Amino acid sequence: MKGSLKTTGAPSLEELHNSPAYPTNEQLRKGPIAIIECIEEIPCNPCEAACSRGAITVGENITSLPKIDFEKCIACGACIAACPGLAIYIKDYTYSDTMALLSFPYEYYPLPQAGDTVQAVDRHGKYICDGKVIRVQNPKSNDHTAVITIEYPNEYFEEVVSIKRIVIS
């Protein structure tokens, strides 16, 4: 496998675009959808059961790559905390004229608070732009995987996937 995942640790956009679960540019910008960055055959399938709409399929063979049916996905977010690989997030390009929305899994303390300004980062943890925390969801059923929702400038739509860890000094 050539490319970035096995040398830098994170998948490149090229690798993602070539994987079965990643949306096309058109699907990506249509409205809120779940995006799965799981491009290696590993024995894993909790994402499939997490989606009550049946939008995610792994299939009989549990090492198959997950696929997602964007017609069925309503961006409810139930799959985000269910994925042990923290590989699923939701993005919405249509949130406002200039701002996009991102809901992603986060397992560090302290958690950010709604209203906080945070540093949005790319797949290598590089600072890209500031974002604002809209919501922090951490119900018991998530089993300590909080789901953070931020808004950020939509010119960085595809790059941003997470935020910098908040370090108490």
Partner 1 sequence: MIETELAIVGAGPAGLSAAIEARRAGAEVLLIDENSRPGGQLFKQIHKFFGSRSHKAGTRGMNIGTELLRESKELGIQTWLNGEVCGIEEGHKLWVVRDRSRSEIVKAKKIILSTGATENAVPFPGWELPGVMGAGAAQTMINVNRVLPGKKVIMLGSGNVGVIVAYQLLQAGAEVVAILEAAPKLGGYGVHTAKVSRAGVPFYVSHTIKQAFGTDHVEAVEIVKLDDSFKKVPGTERTLEVDTVCLATGLTPLTELAWLAGCKFCYVPVLGGHLPIHDDKMHSTQPDIFIAGDISGIEEASTAMEEGKLAGINAACELGYIAPEEAEVRSREIWDSLNSLRSGYFGQKRRDSKVSILQKSEELISYFKAMII
Where do contacts with partner 1 occur on this chain (CB under 8 A)?
Answer: 1, 5-11, 37-46, 49-50, 61-63, 82-87, 107-109, 121, 123-126, 143-145, 161-162, 164-165, 167
If the CB atoms of residues 10 and 136 are measured against partner 1, the closer one turns out to be 10
If the CB atoms of residues 30 and 86 are measured against partner 1, the closer one turns out to be 86
Given a contact cutoff of 8 angstroms between Cβ atoms, the answer to whether 35 and 23 are in contact is yes
If the CB atoms of residues 16 and 47 are measured against ligand SF4, the closer one turns out to be 47
* Nearest alpha carbon to residue 103 among 155, 163, 27, 20: 163
Given a contact cutoff of 8 angstroms between Cβ atoms, the answer to whether 117 and 130 are in contact is yes
CB of 163 to partner 1, least distance (A): 9
Q: Which does 75 bind (CB under 5 to 8 A by kind): ligand SF4, partner 1, none?
A: ligand SF4
Q: Which does 41 bind (CB under 5 to 8 A by kind): partner 1, ligand SF4, none?
A: partner 1
Neighbour tally for 99: CB within 10 Å: 16
CA distances in angstroms from 69 to 41, 56, 74, 117, 168, listed in the order given: 19, 7, 10, 33, 41
Q: Residues 6 or more apart from 168 whose CB is under 8 A from it?
A: 110
Q: Which does 34 bind (CB under 5 to 8 A by kind): partner 1, ligand SF4, none?
A: ligand SF4
If the CB atoms of residues 4 and 27 are measured against partner 1, the closer one turns out to be 4
